[in-house]
Amino acid sequence: MEKNRALDTLSALAHDIRLDVFRCLVQAGPEGMAAGEIAQALQIRPNTLSNNLTLLSHAGLVRSTREGRSIRYFAEMATMTALLGFLLRDCCGGRAELCQPILDQIACEC
Amino acid sequence: MEKNRALDTLSALAHDIRLDVFRCLVQAGPEGMAAGEIAQALQIRPNTLSNNLTLLSHAGLVRSTREGRSIRYFAEMATMTALLGFLLRDCCGGRAELCQPILDQIACEC
DNA sequence: TCCATATTTCATGTTTAATGGAAATAAAAT
DNA sequence: ATTTTATTTCCATTAAACATGAAATATGGA
């Protein structure tokens, strides 16, 4: 990931509602959620949610498909992992013994 | 990490100059860099850098110690890993087979 | 003590982003 | 065809963040 895309991604996540929406979709997993379901779960007005979903989408953090009159959204984990890779790049200047303890702490809590 | 601290951390990083500064310090490693060295390396005015360092510091992403008339800054990797843990929390709803491919892609490039 | 260097703080004008109401589009049901 | 439901777009107002010049603080040297 290049810097400008990393900035877009970070800006998209650095927002109260959008962080909630993204994490909601992360937890929903591959089934995703319809916009209306998200709005109800998080108590957000539909236009506010729509604006924020558009922003998340431009940042590549979510993707969507129409399903009848609903639109279903999914978290795009590949973008998240690309961001994490960017943030950790050159984290130890080639000294793996400095880097490994950091990586060890990143663990999926499932 | 709780949500509000995650938001602070993301907001701190979601800024052109601050992302550069943080990554500069990440790459500098445990030796850190004096404020003036950072300013020179990235061509930033001293007061602008100072404001942004203060913000990074409040977000817990850097720490500093005075050294003569300079002040030396260091990246705080523990905060970064805490953020990554927060972003990945419940990423697979307990289904490790969904989660593992994501974790496999996060690798230190050293 | 007085000066030079390193960094921070303050005040301010400008830009940028967020909010929410109202209207518009899109699909399905009657 | 008309209505209902789901979602988006448009727009105006409000609020927040940013960069910058100038002054202040802190340390070390002459």
Residues of A whose CB is below 8 A from B23: 87, 89-90
Nucleotides of C under 7 A from a protein CB: 4-10, 17-23, 26-28
Q: What is the pLDDT of residues B23-54, one digit of tens each?
A: 999 999 999 999 999 999 999 999 999 999 99
**What is the CA B54 to C1' C8 distance in angstroms?**
9
Range A43-48 contact pairs with CB under 8 angstroms and sequence separation of 24 or more: A44/A17, A48/A17
Region A49-74: mean pLDDT is 97
Q: Looking at residues A36-61, what average pLDDT do you find?
A: 97
Kindly determine whether the C-beta of residue B66 is less than 7 Å away from any atom of nucleic acid strand D: yes
Helix (H, G, I), strand (E, B) or coil at A44: coil
- Strand D bases within 7 angstroms of protein beta carbons: 5-10, 17-23, 26-28
Q: Comparing B95 with A87, which gets the higher pLDDT? A: A87
A99 contact to strand D (CB, 7 A limit): no
The distance between the two most distant Cα atoms of chain A, rounded to a whole number of Å, is: 53
Please write the tens of the pLDDT for every residue from A10-48: 999 999 999 999 999 999 999 999 999 999 999 999 999
Split at pLDDT 50, 70, 90, the class of B106 is low
Looking at the domain B3-105, which fold is it? Arc Repressor Mutant, subunit A (1.10.10)
B84: chain A residues, CB-CB within 8 Å: 84, 87, 106
A80 touches chain B (CB under 8 A): yes
Residue A96 sits at the chain B interface (C-beta within 8 Å): yes
Q: Which residues, other chains included, contact B25 with Cβ-Cβ below 8 Å and sequence gap of 6+?
A: B32, B33, B38, B62, B73, B74, B75
Chain B positions touching A3 (Cβ under 8 A) are: 19-20
Query: What residue ranges do the domains of chain B occupy?
Result: 3-105
Distance separating alpha carbons of residues A43 and A17, to the nearest angstrom:
10
Cα-to-chain-centroid distance, residue A9: 8
